[in-house]
Every structure is written in C-alpha cells, then in structure tokens.
Amino acid sequence: MKILGIDSSGLVASAAVLETEPGPEGRLLAQCSTDYKKTHSQTLLPMIDRICRETETEASGLGAVAVSSGPGSFTGLRIGSATAKAIALAANIPLIEVPTLQGLAFNLWGSSRAVCPMMDAKRDQVYSGLYGFEGGKLVIYRDQEALALGEMLEFVNSFGKEVIFLGDGASAYAGMIASGTQVPFMFAPAHLNRQSAASVAVLGASMYAEGRYINGEDHSPVYLRKSQAEREGAKKFDLWNTV
C-alpha cells in the first residue's frame, strides 16, 4: 500500500511517498523537503505533484494519507490538513493523524537516548514532549504540549536520561537549553533536526497497521492553543475598540 506523508507544520514543507510492501520495513519511494521560505500554499502541492509523478503514483493509487496534525503554525497546519483532507475525500482513502512532535521524534528512530523535539511556539513557549524508543517502538515519556522552555527542561532533568534535542525550538533556544540542561545532551544534526514527511509516513504506516486512522472529514489540526480572541475573552478582545 502507498501512503502519502505530508508535513507543513513549521517552516519546512515536506512530502513523501511510502510503499509499505514488501514488509516489514517497506520502501520510501520519494521524499522532498524544503526549509527555505514559508510559502506552503505555493510549494506543498507542487511538491506532492512532483514526487507522485516521479513515482507514477496517482491519487487513486494511494491507500492512505498521513498528515502531521499539530501543533505548529496555525496556517501551516491548515494548509497540510486541507490538502490531506481533500486527497482523502477525492481518493476515498483514510487519513492518519500523526502528532507533529511524534513525527519529529521519529527522525531519531532507534535512539537509546531520550528524544526531545521542540518547536518555537513564540510568546516564551515551546511545543515539546519527550520520547524514546523501546523495542523499535516510539514511546511517549511526556506527551506534546505548549509550555515554557524552563518547565520542559525541568522535566528533562528530572527524567534523568541522556537526551537529544531537535526542532526549530531547539535551535532558537540552544543557549538556554545548554545552560539549563543538567543531563548529558546533544543536538541532532541538520539532516535529522526538522519535520520530515518521510517520518510522518513511516510512523503513520505503523499507526495504520494498529487501526489508528480516521475518515478525513473528522480531521482538524491539534493547535494546543486557543486563538487570541478566545484566550483574552470576548470583553478584552474588542474588535471594534477603534470605533
């Protein structure tokens, strides 16, 4: 079965085509990522089109679409989600929601160290979680959430295991991470340290095998954060305060 993987949750636009046969590990037919300028609306579908053409993959030949389902840039997530939903609808195939930080952690599959993906969530927060691999499976030590960097580092320290940091949040706060981490740590190198649709597709395939997929129409991104208006409440958030 072919699975199309999509990740547009951050600055990276990424797409991949995975053939799950022959098992157990399958074959990554194509992958493409760009981390240059954030114009997902203009880059993502042309990228999908290109890798599908090159691998003679038609939408009707896909068995499922796996999408990085959040957290991340609100607009970026929706571009990926709308694309994935429409392909699932048109091809009548299921959609696999791969949590963004699990997909990111999966880049370091097989690591004996703990894996701490971090995305810069702005407003003094990161989207982060703590993961590891046991028996080749991704395990969650702390599920993804929006939290202060210091709080995440406290958890990493108390967890006590050697750790690898990755993601744009790890790059943005490298100095603070270095000074606040009390366990041995490393930063993942460039070819592994950003969102990758290949990871989304491969992790998605294992989720699919466990029956963890849904109908595309039931999918919405996980934002882990309310909109500004909802956070500030109707009274404070006054659209007409300029009247």
Using CB under 8 A as the criterion, which residues of the chain lie in contact with another protein when the complex forms? 39, 41-46, 48-49, 59-60, 74-75, 78-79, 81-87, 89-91, 216-217, 220-221, 223, 227-230, 234, 237-240, 243
Structure tokens at 74: 């609100």
Min dist CB 232 to another protein, Å, is 10
Residue that is written with structure tokens 């990111």 in the block: 104
Strand-strand pairing, 114-122 and 163-166: parallel
CB of 47 to another protein, least distance (A): 9
Q: Which is nearer to another protein, 79 or 119 (CB)?
A: 79
Paired strand residues for 62: 2
**Smaller CB distance to another protein: residue 52 or 105?**
52
| Interatomic CA distance for residues 105 and 114, integer angstroms | 9
CA distance 99 to 68: 6
Separation CA 32–CA 20 (nearest Å) = 18
Closest to another protein by CB, 47 vs 138, is 47
Tokens 């990276």: give the residue: 12
| C-beta closer to another protein: residue 190 or 243 | 243
CB of 7 to another protein, least distance (A): 14
Considering the complex, state which of residue 112 and residue 241 has its C-beta at the smaller distance from another protein.
241
Residue 83 CB, shortest distance to another protein, in Å, is 4
89 or 209: whose CB is closer to another protein?
Answer: 89
CA distance 19 to 34: 22
Handedness of CA 14, 9, 172, 106 (dihedral sign): negative
Cβ distance to another protein smaller for residue 4 or 116 = 4
Q: Which two tokens stand for residue 236?
A: 């404070």
Q: How far is the CB of 172 from another protein (least distance, A)?
A: 23
Q: Least separation, in Å, of the C-beta of 203 and another protein?
A: 22
Strands 114-122 and 95-98 come out as: unpaired
Q: How far is the CB of 122 from another protein (least distance, A)?
A: 14
What are the E-state strand segments in the chain? 2-7, 13-19, 27-34, 62-68, 95-98, 114-122, 125-134, 137-147, 163-166, 185-187
